[in-house]
Every structure is written in structure tokens, then in C-alpha cells.
Structure 1
Amino acid sequence: MDGSGEAKAKAPQDRLAEWLAEDMAAVNALIRERMASEHAPRIPQVTAHLIEAGGKRLRPMLTLAAARMLGYQGTDHRKLAATVEFIHTATLLHDDVVDESKRRRGRPTANLLWDNKSSVLVGDYLFSRSFQLMVETGNLRVLDILANASATIAEGEVLQLTAAQDLRTDEAIYLQVIRGKTAALFSAATEVGGVIAGAPEAEVRALFDYGDALGIAFQMVDDILDYGGQDAVIGKNTGDDFRERKLTLPVIKAVAKATAEERAFWHRVIEQGDQREGDLEMAMTILSRHGAIAAAREDAIAWAGRARAALDNLPAHQLRALLSDLADFVIERVL
């Protein structure tokens, strides 16, 4: 196989990582430097467990790619990329406590290895570090975007607390939840890359639209995979969302078509939390009966299409092509 054929065989995020290798090396060095703590050694221990667990660094790469694609020649985009990764890691630490999760990225969660207090407090530390980094760029608009994203993420998580176990939750509320808890950081990551590059307003908006749609597709795919993905692929146990009584898109679609008997089942396992042997299998049977997984897949494909369409408003560039491929790759996991 020649070099070009070999490149095509690689996943888009791997090709993106190669293109941005110098920037990513600097970002990783910055992350290691800023997650250090002279007085509290547990901070780098907990942070390193998650940050160095093999995560793809997708969100910081989006920031780097957006800035480079629009001709940025400085180095502040690296601080913003590290900021985005710190915000993401902080939310993961907090999420695992809220969800009482035991696995993250195929490894035991920090709250399982240490305790909930450490996870929450180290998450708070990373949020503080992220704000220090973004302030260092001296760009007030960047600070506004990332501060708003942080608030939106928290808002989405709180909304999920009330909506996730309520059978009245519809697709509009679900979209509001995932736009908050997932897509907000994707769109902020791409948008600040354009802002720091001094891009025209139309291009900054296109980057926001791309990140928003990509993040929505990404979360929809994760929710679909929970009802049939391989543990190694999704980094958690299949059925975790069911066991945690989360009303995700496939279940919402099934509930909308439920018979009285099926609705009683969903009421028992989701709203009441009375889960018994064989209930996960029954849930998957009901999802299949109503074509809920296939319908959710079509929604994810449509959002990936929106992400690709947003890129049409940006100048031609190798990185633009890679970002388009990335939108396709996100949904390939459920095709």
C-alpha cells in the first residue's frame, strides 16, 4: 500500500492528530505543566489517571484545526485547546460522581479508585485552571464563549437530572440536554479557534454550527451504542444508560410508540428504578420492535450532514476536508 492509501485507511482523528502533531505536543506539555500542584499531590494523580487514559483529545484538536485552517500563526490557540481539555476533564470527573460510574475510557473511574470528594474537588481545580489559561490569551470574547459553554454544560447536566427519568421527556428536551452537556463544548472549541484567528464573523458562525452539529451527532451515537455497542468501543459497559435510568433518544422514540404494557414496563424500570433480571434484554426487544435504534441512527446521520454543510462556508483547506471526514466517522460506528 502506498503512502496515500495508508493515509486514507487511518481514522480522521488520527490524520488530524498527525497534521497537528507539533501543536498537540505543545498542548500536552501545557496540560502536564498546569495540572501540577506543589501542595496537593492528589491533584496530578487524579488528573493524570483520566487525561492520560488514552482519550483522543478530540475537542482540543478541533480548536487547533479551526485556528490553523483560518491562517492563525500565533500560539494562543494552544492555550485555548488546553482550556477545552481541562473543561472536558473536569466535567467527566463530576459526571462520574453524579452517575456513580465505575468505568471511563475502559478503566476504573477516579471516584472508584480514590473517592467522590477527590473527584469533585480536582474537577473544581481543573475548571479554575481552565479560566486561568483562557484569561492569558487576553481575548475577552474567547473568555465569554468558554465561560458561557461552562455554564451551559452545567445547566445541561442539571436538566438531565430531572428529565432523564421522566417519561414525559420528549425529543426537544433531549436535544436541549445533549446540546448542553455535550455539543456546547464542541461548538465552543471550534468557535474560539476562529475568534483567536481573527476570522470574519460568517466563518466564526460556520465553525460554531459545525461544532454544534458534530457534538449532537456524537452524543446521539454514544446513546445508540449503549444499546448494542462493544464495551471496548464505547469505553463503558453496554446498558449503562439503562441501568442508570437515563431516557436517551432510542428509549424516547420507543416510549412515543409504546403500548400500554410497554409503557408500564418503561415506568417500572426508568421512573421507579425497579429493574430485574432480563429487563435490559426486554428493553432492547422493545426498541427493535419499534425501529427506535434505526430512527435514532437516521437522526444522527442528519446532524452529521449539518456539520458537513456548515463547513461549506469556510475556505478550502486540507483541515476542512479532515473535519468533514470526522463528521462521517462519528456516525460510522452505528452504520
Structure 2
Amino acid sequence: MGVVLNLEDGKRGAGSIEPLVALTQDDMARVNELILAKAGSDVELIPELAQHLISSGGKRLRPMVTLAAAQMFGYEGEGHVKLAMAVEFMHTATLLHDDVVDESDLRRGRKTARMIWGNQASVLVGDYLLGQAFRVMVDVGSLEALDILSAAASVIAEGEVMQLGVAKNLETTEDEYLAVIKAKTAALFSAAAEVGPVVAQASRNDRAALRSFGTNLGLAFQLVDDALDYGGKSSDLGKNVGDDFREGKVTLPVILAYRRGSEDERAFWKRSIEENECDDAALQKALGLMNKHGAIGDTIGRARHFGEIARDALAPLKNTPQKAALFDVIDFCISRVT
């Protein structure tokens, strides 16, 4: 049984990250060189494990946003390259930690680092990458950029702890869940977007615009991921469809289906999520209930809403190729469910 997502109504277009890739490709080449240099260590396991994740096919969207946001305001120094590298290391570290916490076996279609080297090595190499990120931030010499990224690191950690608090809790409200993903996912998007204009010494209004763009792009991005777990393909998702369900994660599609369900349906969700009765037959039933109550479509509707807020945040800024590319990124993130 599959889930058919009817997303044509109100859809702006497929969007693409290709304009962003083209605008940032020269700077990204320098970012990638710096990533390889800073992932090195005399401790053999560190570069081996780091390289496994770094080379696993991620789009590197967050550092590209940092680069474009700096370019948008005419920045010509080296600081944006260093900050973009730091953003990518922060993201990579959180992936290593997430896979341990979530006991994930697959990441972007490959075995997770924890499945190859174990949980302890994954956590410790993640810590190493965070340390390297902060060393590079200091090199930039911008106290404000350091403050933004270090604050984001704290918020992300808080989000991970918040997620533990709502794990398998079907009474989690939509607001509580949005608070988790705002911390866990949107905080890094927000910081990645804001440090670009900061290093370019743009105005406070411009910085606020990019910060809002990043926050709302991150919320939209995560909500689309939540929907893809039930309505996507493994090849697109980078993990098995239904993994969130099997791991007992309470994401927005589950929250909506549970709250809109009958007493018998809520009992099913309790057995599946809280008591780990989550085999393939249960997954098929879960998909059916989500379809019945419009939970996946409404999750995408929420994502579109945050995408529009991100678009409105950028709207007053001067028209530049980078601004147009960031608009395309919003559409791209949401169009992943088609």
C-alpha cells in the first residue's frame, strides 16, 4: 500500500537548488578543501569515520546558504568560507549524534557510522568535529558570528533532549512538536543564514531577514522530511520508508492522525508507538489512517505555510541572483514530496 500525495493545489513549482549550487560552486570548492583539512587527525579513526559521513552524498545545503547570504551583500573576504565549513561540521556532528540517539541503521542509503564503528566512536568523533568547527569560527574573528553559532549549538542540544522527552508520547501537542524541530533542525538553518550577512557587515534588518528565512526554511524542511517518511521513497529519503514509525517517533503526521482518530484508532497508535507493535502490517494500517484523516497532506500544508513565511522574510531585500536562488531553495525543499 502506498500513500498518494495530492500536492498540486497551491504548489508554486518544483524549485531547484541548481542556481544556488552555481552561485556558490567556487566558494564551495574552498569549503570542501577546508573540510578535508580540518577533518584530519593523527588518530586514524577520526578522519576515517568523518570521511564516511562527509562523502555520503548530502547536498550541503546549509553551508551553501551561508555562502549565498554573504555574497548577497557583496562580501569578498574568506570568513564566509570558514563559517560555511563550521556550519557543515556542526551539521555532521549532529547527524552522528542523532544516529546514536535514534539507533538508526541507515543514513543517505548507507550504513550509519555507528553500525560500522560503534556508538562510542560516533559520539566522540562528533565531539571532535564540533571542536574543530569552533576553532575555525574563532579564526574568522567575528564575535557576533561566534555567538550566533555557539548559541545554535546549545539550542540544538536542547532540542535533542526535548525530543527524548516527547519520545513515544502520543499526547504531544503540535505546538510542543514544533518547538522540538525549531530547536533541533531550524536553529542551524537560521544560524547558517544569519552569519552570512553578519560577516558581510550588513544591517540589523538584513540580518533579521536572513535569520527569519533560515528558521522558517528549517521548519518547512523538517516537516517535509516527516511526510516523506510515510509518503516518500527510500532512494529519496536516504533511509527506509517508515523508519520513524518503527522507531516509535511521534512526528506531526502521527500527532494529527492520533488526535483525529476514533477511540479504536487511538488504541492502535498506542500499541504501535508506545508498545512497539510496529511490524509491516501495522505500518500499512498507520498509512491508511493517515490517508483517512489527511495527516500527511496537512503536514505538507504546514510546511508550505512556513515556506511562505521564509519567502516573505526575504521579499524586502534588494533583488540579487542570490535572493532568487534562495527563493528556489524554498520551493525545492517543499517539492521533495512530489
* Fold in common (TM above 0.5): yes
Q: Please, what is the CA RMSD of the aligned residues?
A: 1.3
Is 1:28 matched up with 2:32?
yes
Aligned match for 1:297, one of 293, 297, 300: 300
Q: Using the TM superposition, give the Cα deviation of residue 106 of structure 1 relative to its aligned residue in structure 2, in angstroms.
A: 1.0
1:86·1:127 contact (CA, 8 Å) conserved in 2?
A: yes
Aligned residue identity for 1:74:
G
Is 1:233 matched up with 2:232?
no
1:187·1:211 contact (CA, 8 Å) conserved in 2?
A: yes
Residue 42 of structure 1: aligned partner: 45
Range with bigger deviation, 238-247 or 302-311: 302-311
Aligned match for 2:175, one of 162, 166, 172: 172
Deviations 1:244-279 (A, max 9, x none): 101111111111111110111111111222334500
Aligned residue identity for 1:205:
A
Aligned match for 1:18, one of 16, 22, 38: 22
Q: State the alpha-carbon separation in 1 of the partners of residues 249 and 74 from structure 2.
A: 42
SS of equivalent to 1:227: helix
Q: State the alpha-carbon separation in 2 of the partners of residues 183 and 45 from structure 1.
A: 29
Residue 313 of structure 2: aligned partner: 310
Residue 204 of structure 2: aligned partner: 201
Residue 110 of structure 1: aligned partner: 113
Q: State the alpha-carbon separation in 2 of the partners of residues 99 and 33 from structure 1.
A: 29
SS of equivalent to 2:81: helix
Q: State the alpha-carbon separation in 1 of the partners of residues 205 and 276 from structure 2.
A: 47
Range with bigger deviation, 80-89 or 111-120: 111-120
Q: TM-score with structure 2 length normalisation?
A: 0.94
Q: State the alpha-carbon separation in 1 of the partners of residues 19 and 110 from structure 2.
A: 25
Deviations 1:69-105 (A, max 9, x none): 1111111000000000000000000111111111111
Q: State the alpha-carbon separation in 2 of the partners of residues 232 and 277 from structure 1.
A: 19
Q: TM-score with structure 1 length normalisation?
A: 0.95
Aligned residue identity for 2:79:
D
Q: State the alpha-carbon separation in 2 of the partners of residues 276 and 326 from structure 1.
A: 36
| Structure 2: 5+ residue stretches without partners | 1-12
Residue 280 of structure 1: aligned partner: 283
2:27·2:67 contact (CA, 8 Å) conserved in 1?
A: yes
Q: Using the TM superposition, give the Cα deviation of residue 334 of structure 1 relative to its aligned residue in structure 2, in angstroms.
A: 2.1
Closer, same or farther: CA 63–277 of 1 in aligned 2, 3 Å: closer
Aligned match for 2:162, one of 159, 164, 181: 159
Q: State the alpha-carbon separation in 1 of the partners of residues 14 and 182 from structure 2.
A: 29
Q: Using the TM superposition, give the Cα deviation of residue 11 of structure 1 relative to its aligned residue in structure 2, in angstroms.
A: 6.1
Q: Using the TM superposition, give the Cα deviation of residue 12 of structure 1 relative to its aligned residue in structure 2, in angstroms.
A: 2.7
Q: Using the TM superposition, give the Cα deviation of residue 310 of structure 1 relative to its aligned residue in structure 2, in angstroms.
A: 0.8
After the TM superposition, list the runs of 4 or more consecutive aligned residues in structure 1 that deviate by more than 6 angstroms: none
Q: Using the TM superposition, give the Cα deviation of residue 333 of structure 1 relative to its aligned residue in structure 2, in angstroms.
A: 1.7
2:14·2:332 contact (CA, 8 Å) conserved in 1?
A: no
Is 1:255 matched up with 2:285?
no
Q: State the alpha-carbon separation in 2 of the partners of residues 86 and 276 from structure 1.
A: 35
Q: Using the TM superposition, give the Cα deviation of residue 175 of structure 1 relative to its aligned residue in structure 2, in angstroms.
A: 0.5
| Structure 1: 5+ residue stretches without partners | 1-8
1:202·1:313 contact (CA, 8 Å) conserved in 2?
A: no
Q: State the alpha-carbon separation in 1 of the partners of residues 179 and 285 from structure 2.
A: 28
Closer, same or farther: CA 110–295 of 1 in aligned 2, 3 Å: same
Q: Percent identity?
A: 52
Is 1:221 matched up with 2:224?
yes
SS of equivalent to 1:294: helix
Q: State the alpha-carbon separation in 1 of the partners of residues 216 and 27 from structure 2.
A: 25
Aligned match for 1:138, one of 137, 141, 146: 141
The one of the two structures with greater contact order (alpha-carbon pairs below 8 A, sep at least 6) is 2
